[in-house]
Amino acid sequence: MSLLGDFANFAALGLAGNYGFNQASNIEDRGQFISDSLNTLGNSLADGSGFQGYGVTSALGSSNVGADGSVSFGVGPNSTMQNQANGMMGASMQAMNNAMQPTVGREQDIYSRMMAMQNPELNRAQAAQQAREYAMGRGGVRGSQFGGTAEDAAMARARADASNQASLAAMQQALAEQKQQAGMAANFGQLGQGQYQTSFLPMSQQMALMQLAGADADRAQTGQLTGQGYLGQMGTAGYQTQVNALKAASELRGNLIDSILDNAGNAAGGLFDFLN
């Protein structure tokens, strides 16, 4: 082997070594690029697969579910109906309070009114009876048993009977009014509760629409996630292909460098023999 050939082999050895170092650096750079690209792809997939939120708009109003899951419900209860319900419940409480009061006072009021209506007629009858007695020359007559004439006794019994009947009727009427107040309390209470529940009907209807919209949003989210999954698979498959290609190229270059190094080793041995 000539000296010139040996130096040529040594030069090739230096070039091969330099090439090998450059390739190693390129592979490292490419690996870092792929790593950064996968991180970028992951962030893109995370953003693309995130919950987007949804909303529904109807004649009742607009409601939305934000991307963070917060709900903005644009429909509230019917305030007019709630005010009516509050009024009915107030009336129910007032009627119940009235029904719980003692009936003695009310009995006395009814008795007094009934007697006030009967007394004028009783007084006229008594005056007419006394006039007849005086006309017959019997005025001022007193009996030992009743303190007056038979007509006076009859009139006294009539007044007593009227008073007793009025008292009994007053008690019955007071009890009937008490029962009526209790019935009104129950009726107003039921109406108030029904009105209050009905006031939330617009909200219930909007919630039903939100459930329908939620089902549509789920389908859209499923399609979105499926698309992002395909994108992720294609991206990772592409990067894996690059890694495989880099590996194959690296192995090929490694084999080439090994061959050059083998030849360079033979050249170095020849140079050593020459120098000795």
Q: How far apart are CA 62 and CA 56, in angstroms?
A: 6
Phi and psi, residue 62, nearest 5°: -120, 135
State residue 4's pLDDT score.
Answer: 45
Quick: pLDDT tens for 264-274: 555 544 444 54
User: Which token pair is 2?
Assistant: 């000539």
User: Which token pair is 15?
Assistant: 């070039």
Quick: pLDDT tens for 31-48: 777 777 777 777 777 777
pLDDT, mean of residues 75-104: 90
H/E segment holding residue 63:
strand 62-65
User: Which residues fall within 8 angstroms of residue 19, CB to CB, at 6 or more apart?
Assistant: 253, 257
pLDDT grade, residue 261 (50/70/90)? low
Q: Where are the domains of the chain?
A: 3-50+219-275, 80-199
Of residues 2, 195, 216, the one with CA closest to residue 81 = 195
Percent of the chain, pLDDT > 90? 16
Phi and psi, residue 51, nearest 5°: -65, 130
Q: How far apart are CA 189 and CA 99, in angstroms?
A: 14
**65: β partners:** 54, 71
**72: β partners:** 64
Quick: pLDDT tens for 117-129: 877 777 777 677 6
Name the amino acid, one letter, at 221.
Q
